[in-house]
Amino acid sequence: GVKIVTIGGGSSYTPELIEGFIKRYDELPVRELWLVDIPEGEEKLKIVGELARRMVKKAGVPLDIHLTLDRRRALEGADFVTTQFRVGGLQARAKDEQIPLKYGVIGQETNGPGGLFKGLRTIPVILDIIRDMKELCPDAWLINFTNPAGMVTEAVLRYSDHKKAVGLCNVPIGMRMGVAKLFNVDASRVHIDFAGLNHMVFGLNVYLDGNNIMDQLIDRLTNSDKAGMTMRNIADLGWEPDFLKGLKLLPCPYHRYYFQTSKMFEEELEAAKKVGTRAEVVQKLEEELFELYKDPNLNVKPPQLEKRGGAYYSDAACSLICSIYNDKRDIQTVNTQNNGAIASIPSESAVEVNCIITKEGPKPIAVGDLPVAVRGLVQQIKSFERVAAEAAVTGDYYTALLAMTINPLVPSDTIAKQILNEMLEAHKEYLPQF
Ligand code: NAD
Ligand code: G6P
Ligand code: MN
Ligand code: MN
């Protein structure tokens, strides 16, 4: 049987992971699932772990669920390690979102200054986990969701020698479901050629039953004021129709931060005043979810989980693990080493691209150069991720300032320095390398 370890097991998303393993039990016989957390997360771990046990019992699946704060014990002999932790919790996320706003800059979990700081907090922890894996389960696959997933994958590829690492995000699945909804068809009939970086991915071509529908899609996107093509955590601002007609690509929801920066900033500011930033909204959602999870009669994943932006991301993980385990050779969109698939990005860097999923891991499908209109932005974000990863590993102030300044959402060197200094101070508890 398969042994899986999930780090950050107390996450409210864990029931989705359980549902995914239950659903696939015949193909993917997971016998042991170890949910790992830290003392701050112990209570959540217990609640979610008890729900997980009720779920497998109800499904009649012989999956043993272990709850532990001892990561090293859990990792022994693991086949797959999934990571879904949040260093510093939602309080740290709230600071990532609030501080930049004071300087007129987008405050976001994975983009701009917030994304940089989430990376600075997360990368040392993931590299530490990999050191443990080297010792305790050197052949295991690391399936990482921990954001910023693109920067984290880049750091793993550059600063560790563990090659069996894949980054995952629910945005590509969400875009596919969004297109299906727009055309009123089942998502299985929709195929998208994805290429770019995490939260910076484009649909290069979109197909319905094998026919290219990009023109009709852009038509539909531009003729409905709110096209619904977004995630729960991103305001559904429509696109300028003529921009999409010129672009001829399907942008991802996060592209709004780059192509609609001032509108998104105003939107954030207003939301912050009315309901708080996304971290505060999520805090309330989480409280509601954990109240539900505590109910001893609940033994399935509650639909309320779909209010989280990451809905379906655990399902993406289960289906990736299943395809690696069974050498399925189906196509999934993951973050992996480029290896020349996107000509405009260094071969050794992480990209988010369609891959054939084999037992040796994802094999990226070559797309050539990205269209010239977006190539530069994608390269700039890759440069930002590389410099940010270097700052996370070295703890070098000047490198961190460089990363902050070259981020396209930050308007000047001086503002970059002000935001950097305030955020270094605010997060110092979780930044021992600085
Ligand atoms: P959360 O705040 O519920 O955190 C999950 C758990 O991680 C908590 O129980 C916490 O105690 C634990 N934790 C914190 N530091 C830890 C450490 N050092 N070791 C082990 N556990 C630790 O977060 P969440 O909302 O469930 O999200 C978890 C992570 O997944 C975040 O980084 C989030 O950005 C990411 N995420 C990614 C995607 C994606 O598309 N890739 C989708 C959803 C969430
Ligand atoms: C999206 C992204 C995730 C992100 C999540 C935030 O789905 O792909 O990477 O973590 O939304 O959702 P939340 O509910 O935490 O705001
Ligand atoms: Mn994501
Ligand atoms: Mn700049």
Q: Is the pLDDT of residue 218 over 70?
A: yes
Nearest to 143 by CA among 159, 166, 120: 166
- Residues in contact with ligand 2 (CB, 6 Å cut-off): 147, 169-171, 231-233, 278, 282, 308-310
What is the maximal distance between C-alpha atoms in the chain?
A: 60
Q: Burial, 418: exposed, middle or buried (Cβ in 10 Å; 0-12, 13-18, 19+)?
A: middle
Split at pLDDT 50, 70, 90, the class of 350 is: very high
Active site annotation includes 254: yes
By most ligand atoms within 8 Å of CB, the mutation choice from 118, 233, 282, 305 for ligand 2 is 233
Q: Is the pLDDT of residue 37 over 80?
A: yes
Q: Is the pLDDT of residue 146 over 70?
A: yes
Highest mean pLDDT among 95-99, 177-181, 226-230, 314-318: 95-99
The Å distance, Cα 314 to ligand 3 centre, comes to 11
Helix, strand, coil fractions of the chain, as percent rounded to 5: 50, 15, 30
SS3 (DSSP) at 403:
helix
Ligand 4 ion local residues (Cβ < 5 A): 410
The Å distance, Cα 379 to ligand 3 centre, comes to 19
Q: How much is the pLDDT for 145? A: 94
- 150 in Cβ contact with 385 (< 8 Å): yes
The Å distance, Cα 357 to ligand 1 centre, comes to 25
Instruction: Dig out the tokens for 387 from the structure.
Output: 């410099």
Tens-digit pLDDT profile for residues 75-124: 999 999 999 999 999 999 999 999 999 999 999 999 999 999 999 999 99
- 243 in Cβ contact with 259 (< 8 Å): yes
What size, in residues, is the chain?
434
Q: How much is the pLDDT for 228? A: 52
Q: How much is the pLDDT for 371? A: 98
Q: Is residue 335 within 6 Å of ligand 1 at its C-beta?
A: no
**Cβ atoms within 10 Å of 174's Cβ, excluding its own:** 22
Please list, in sequence order, all residues whose beta carbon lies within 8 angstroms of the beta carbon of residue 52, skipping any fewer than 6 positions away: 14, 15, 18, 33, 35, 65
Mean pLDDT of 157-168: 97
**Cβ atoms within 10 Å of 77's Cβ, excluding its own:** 12
- 277 in Cβ contact with 107 (< 8 Å): yes
Residue nearest to atom 42 of ligand 1 (CA): 310
Q: How much is the pLDDT for 258? A: 98
Q: How much is the pLDDT for 223? A: 73
Nearest to 334 by CA among 310, 314, 312, 350: 350
By most ligand atoms within 8 Å of CB, the mutation choice from 93, 144, 170 for ligand 2 is 170
Q: Is the pLDDT of residue 313 over 80?
A: no
Strand partners for 143: 82, 166
State the average pLDDT for the chain. Answer: 95
Q: Which of 28-42, 140-154, 227-241, 304-318 has the least mean pLDDT?
A: 227-241
Q: Is residue 125 within 6 Å of ligand 1 at its C-beta?
A: yes
Q: Which atom of ligand 1 is nearest to the CA of 110?
A: 34
Q: How much is the pLDDT for 154? A: 98
The Å distance, Cα 243 to ligand 4 centre, comes to 23
- 387 in Cβ contact with 421 (< 8 Å): no
Amino acid at 173: I
